[in-house]
Chains A and B, each alone.
Chain A
Amino acid sequence: MAVNEDLLEILVCPKCKGPIHLTPAKDGLTCNACKLVFEIRDDIPVMLIDEAKPLTG
């Protein structure tokens, strides 16, 4: 089971409210504007600014 498709349609970055994108490994959601990656844990996106990791590379 992956992240619910209907949920993915409406998810945005909690910080800038801009678009987010699935990482190639589908284990996170990236906000390019804020340069943050939100982890997906057990198919649940962790959309918390404090828990996001900086986007590298």
Chain B
Amino acid sequence: MITIDYKRLNISPGDRILDMGCGPGRHVSGACADYEAKVVGADINIEDLLEAKTNIFVHEAYGGKLRGSWGLSAADITALPFADHAFDHVICSEVLEHIPDDHSAAKELNRVLKPGGTLTLSVPRFFPEKICWTLSRAYCNTRGGHIRIYKKSEIVVLFESLGLKKRFSHHAHSIHTPYWWLKCLVGPENDAALPVALYNRFLTWDIMKKPKLTRSLDSLFNPVLGKSIVVYFRK
């Protein structure tokens, strides 16, 4: 499931890309599959990085040869282990809403980005997230879970205060929004509940098969129901 639209980044061969908060590596393998880039996946969770490594190997074995190269590192977003201006592109998808000191995180993402480079952020969109928080106390009280709900304007101010310039934004994953509302309704841990289990099967099928019908529906409903807001900046 790819949240960031790489086509909007103008990636050139040899560019370095950082995916901060890469989790199991979906954006790392996505970038390596399509671009001759040097991609670094970083995450604070070593278990997620090990899963990412396995997933990328599986992608290489069964999904075709990767065009780019990749490396993984454990890293704290508020104390990044990368040199100043190391990356041409920095992406950070669904991470900042977990980070208590988001100002330090934003400064670090900006520090490692080259002047002229792109920084792309995604966070949960305000109104679908607000409904999740209203439906379920457990959803927002999970350890390591979401600690704030951003308005798009707050994300723009946070990064423009560092000198970056917003280029454009869009919403993503509208067909995932009802799934999370259902989960919150029955309890976020109750994955066995029939409506949740069925919707999960539907989403997995959609991610694996990418059928035109559901992809079109997702795009059609993104402006009103999109679960994530994606904002593109240039330094």
Contact = CB atoms under 8 A, between A and B. Distances in A.
Nearest to A10: B86
Interface of A: 3-4, 6-7, 10-15, 17, 20, 38, 41-49, 51
B81 A47 contact: yes
Given A7-B73, A10-B16, 13 more contacts: A6-B40, A6-B71, A10-B40, A10-B83, A11-B73, A11-B81, A13-B81, A14-B79, A14-B81, A47-B73, A47-B76, A48-B44, A48-B75
Contacts of B40: 4, 6-7, 10
Contacts of B38: 6
Q: Classify chain B: how many residues form its interface, as a range.
A: 20 to 34
Interface of B is mostly: strand
Contacts of A11: 73, 81-83
A38 B69 CA distance: 23
Interface in B34-63: 38, 40, 44, 46, 49-50, 53
Given A4-B70, A6-B71, A7-B40, A44 B81 contact: no
Interface of B: 16, 38, 40, 44, 46, 49-50, 53, 69-76, 79-84, 86-87
A42 B53 contact: yes
Nearest to B50: A42
B46 A45 contact: no
A1 to B, nearest CB: 9
Nearest to A38: B81
Contact of B72 (A10, A13, A20, A44): A44
Contacts of A3: 71
Nearest to B111: A17
A45 B74 contact: yes
A17 B76 CA distance: 13
